[in-house]
Amino acid sequence: MTTPIDPTATPAWTELTALAADLKPDLRGWFADDPGRVERLSFELADLHVDLSKNLVDDEIVGALVRLAEQTGVAERFAAMLRGEHINTTEDRPVLHTALRRPPGSEPPLVVDGQQVDRDVQQVLDAMSAFADRVRSGEWTGVTGKPVKTVVNIGIGGSDLGPAMISAALEPFGGEIEARFVSNIDPFDLAHKTKGLDPETTLFIVASKTFTTLETLTNARLARDWLWAGLEKAGAIGPTGSGTGSKEDAVAHHFVAVSTALDKVEAFGIDPANAFGFWDWVGGRYSVCSAIGLSLVLKFGPKNFRELLAGFHTVDEHMASTPLASNVPVLMGLLNVWYTNFLGAQSHAVLPYAQQLSRFAAYLQQLTMESNGKRVRWDGSPVTTETGEIFWGEPGTNGQHAFYQLLHQGTRLIPADFIAFANPAYALEDDGRDVHGLFIANFLAQTKALAFGKTAEEVEAEGTTGALVAARTFPGNRPTTSIFAPALTPRVLGELIALYEHITFTQGVIWGINSFDQWGVELGKQLALQIAPAVEGDTAAYDSQDASTRALLDYYKSHRA
């Protein structure tokens, strides 16, 4: 195991510390004095146009940040990841989500720990495509012979967020099949998502890397009960297999699974022939390009899914081969380090100007915070600096009417990424005006206001006087990155997601973190299993709880109808 480099001991860190101490943010002045700033700090990354010019950096700071990436070995570790080295140290595994999107026939073939990775990836992709073709054409039917109309993905975390986010994001590319997503063990989720569905035309995908996750297995059993009850009511199956089909037939026609644990899939009662596998080197939050994306192949078709993968791959190639000084994910990761470690930022907003990206921030929260919310490094030693900022966001313009006030005039530094698309999914006109144009005007206005603000003199020049002047003044120098793309297509979305994956990677390497484990979710899971008997009335389990938990259990018992 290589010892992580302590970033705070690098010469670049010392340089950056001094630069931060001397920093006098002046985006107005920097733009006025430097006509080449926008060009120098704008980059084309496949279909993405990325403008970093409204960040609180100058050439000297960018130079020192790039040296920090050099001195902490970001490029070398990415190369090690691509080669299949076991950079997931605590689980002793390679990290190969990038292999999921290598095009067919890539040379030389990737072989890791004796596994023919490319061959296995393509085999599963082909199986997913063939299955999707059968379902989409109506050849695959429910137990009563009706074609599938709705696919319900049951999964949580990485087995839910990616497919759910992309399903919404690419809605205009969808065909006849509707996709729904059940994740929460709160019974409302399954009850709500199955509402109005016809069991005869519903297909469930149980998506779980481990096939041990409490929420997913509970929901899968509830879904199976819902299916059996519905089919029995319709006279399609008998309670003991005496109808036109058996319960087993119903499961065989209405349940498929996605997992690395195919033995557990079989134990649940799903035919392994109806299961799609992947491998332990795919982290949950990096798994949407694996069979975990099955719901997407069903909804959007194999061609669109391949387009999505192609988008991811383009950015993987960029990350692997572009010099650090113009490597967009590396630069964006470095900016995050700059704000987090040198300017004291605690959070980072991601603000897509596309309603279809309503789940993008939730997706990024798992990607970034489960990856980099860590206090020890990959060799078990403590981190030497702050890690893992809080990611959050909502689509514009909704956010403008909610929390942007704090972005503009609050006391906190919150770097923000603004994402927009030149062409809308739906072009509508309002009284002859292109509504998308108005939307884009808002996207442009916000980053402008955040960067350049409004001085007291400008406020006064409008006739404002007294205490109102301060209230109406905008300090500016609030950093933003603008990401613009022609349209939200499968390929562009793949590029965008891969961009954030590699931003996360860059930060993880600089901090010396293993971004690919998630031990921090274990304790809560263990305790929930210990507390469950207490909730159900077990006195010994109740007595073993702390005073606060016991009091909350008392409240629950006295209020549960």
When asked if residue 153 is in the footprint of ligand F6P (CB under 6 A), the reply is no
> Which burial class, exposed, middle or buried, applies to 233 when counting CB atoms under 10 A from its CB (0-12, 13-18, 19+)?
exposed
Q: Which residue is nearest to ligand F6P (CB)?
A: 284
Smaller CB distance to ligand F6P: residue 368 or 446? 368
Smaller CB distance to ligand F6P: residue 153 or 159? 159
Tokens of 169: 């994001």
When asked if residue 528 is in the footprint of ligand F6P (CB under 6 A), the reply is no
The count of other CB atoms within 10 Å of the CB of residue 156 is: 21
Q: How far apart are CA 86 and CA 66, in angstroms?
A: 26
Start-to-end Cα distance in the chain: 55
Which residue from 284, 302, 490, 512 is in contact with ligand F6P, where contact means CB under 6 A?
284
* Active-site residue (options: 192, 233, 525, 557): 525
Catalytic site includes residue 307: no
When asked if residue 210 is in the footprint of ligand F6P (CB under 6 A), the reply is yes
Smaller CB distance to ligand F6P: residue 159 or 400? 159
Task: Check whether the bond before 397 is cis (ω within 30° of 0).
Answer: yes
When asked if residue 341 is in the footprint of ligand F6P (CB under 6 A), the reply is no
CB of 550 to ligand F6P, least distance (A): 27
CB of 138 to ligand F6P, least distance (A): 30
* Active-site residue (options: 307, 370, 389, 495): 370
Report yes or no: 540 and 112 within 8 Å, Cβ to Cβ: no
Three-state secondary structure readout of 272-336? HHHEEECCCCCCHHHCCCCHHHHHHHHHHCHHHHHHHHHHHHHHHHHHHHCCHHHCHHHHHHHHH
CB of 261 to ligand F6P, least distance (A): 8
Which residue from 101, 285, 359, 374 is in contact with ligand F6P, where contact means CB under 6 A?
285
When asked if residue 290 is in the footprint of ligand F6P (CB under 6 A), the reply is no
Task: Tell me the CA distances in angstroms from 386 to 7, 102, 372, 511, one per residue in order.
Answer: 11, 34, 10, 8
Q: How far apart are CA 503 and CA 36, in angstroms?
A: 25
Q: Which stretch binds ligand F6P (CB under 6 A): 96-104, 154-162, 249-257, 343-351?
A: 154-162
Radius of gyration of the chain (CA): 26
* Active-site residue (options: 401, 457, 462, 522): 401
Catalytic site includes residue 86: no
When asked if residue 518 is in the footprint of ligand F6P (CB under 6 A), the reply is yes
Q: How far apart are CA 248 and CA 435, in angstroms?
A: 52
Q: How far apart are CA 303 and CA 255, in angstroms?
A: 24
Residues binding ligand F6P: what is the number (CB under 6 A)? 14
Task: Check whether the bond before 108 is cis (ω within 30° of 0).
Answer: yes
Q: How far apart are CA 180 and CA 190, in angstroms?
A: 10
Phi, psi of 52 (to 5 degrees): -100, 5
User: Which residue type occupies 489?
Assistant: T
When asked if residue 216 is in the footprint of ligand F6P (CB under 6 A), the reply is yes
CB of 292 to ligand F6P, least distance (A): 8
Smaller CB distance to ligand F6P: residue 267 or 468? 267
Which residue from 521, 527, 528, 551 is in contact with ligand F6P, where contact means CB under 6 A?
521
Q: How far apart are CA 265 and CA 258, in angstroms?
A: 8
CB of 157 to ligand F6P, least distance (A): 3
CB of 365 to ligand F6P, least distance (A): 12
Q: Which stretch binds ligand F6P (CB under 6 A): 25-33, 151-159, 221-229, 462-470?
A: 151-159
Angle of helix 302-321 versus helix 490-511 axis, rounded to 10:
40
Smaller CB distance to ligand F6P: residue 98 or 365? 365
Smaller CB distance to ligand F6P: residue 156 or 351? 156
Which residue from 183, 213, 397, 446 is in contact with ligand F6P, where contact means CB under 6 A?
213
CB of 128 to ligand F6P, least distance (A): 17
Of residues 365 through 394, those in contact with ligand F6P by CB under 6 A are 370
When asked if residue 295 is in the footprint of ligand F6P (CB under 6 A), the reply is no
The count of other CB atoms within 10 Å of the CB of residue 547 is: 7
When asked if residue 101 is in the footprint of ligand F6P (CB under 6 A), the reply is no
CB of 377 to ligand F6P, least distance (A): 20
Q: Which stretch binds ligand F6P (CB under 6 A): 20-28, 204-212, 453-461, 535-543?
A: 204-212
Around 195, how many Cα atoms within 13 Å sit in the side-chain half-sphere? 6
Smaller CB distance to ligand F6P: residue 438 or 532? 532
Catalytic site includes residue 401: yes
When asked if residue 156 is in the footprint of ligand F6P (CB under 6 A), the reply is yes
Bridge partner residues of 397 (DSSP): none
Report yes or no: 211 and 111 within 8 Å, Cβ to Cβ: no
When asked if residue 158 is in the footprint of ligand F6P (CB under 6 A), the reply is yes
Sequence-ordered alpha helix ranges (H) in 344-434 = 360-364, 371-372, 404-409
Smaller CB distance to ligand F6P: residue 486 or 520? 520
CB of 210 to ligand F6P, least distance (A): 3
Q: Which stretch binds ligand F6P (CB under 6 A): 150-158, 339-347, 456-464, 499-507?
A: 150-158
Centroid of chain to Cα 255: 26
CB of 360 to ligand F6P, least distance (A): 17
Return the SS3 of 170.
Answer: coil
Smaller CB distance to ligand F6P: residue 203 or 220? 220
For the chain, the helix, strand and coil percentages under 3-state DSSP, each to the nearest 5:
55, 15, 30
Of residues 159 through 198, those in contact with ligand F6P by CB under 6 A are 159
Return the SS3 of 510.
Answer: helix
The count of other CB atoms within 10 Å of the CB of residue 175 is: 11
CB of 259 to ligand F6P, least distance (A): 8
User: Can you give the binding site for ligand F6P, defined by CB under 6 A?
Assistant: 156-159, 208-210, 213, 216, 284-285, 370, 518, 521
The residues carrying an active-site annotation are: 370, 401, 525
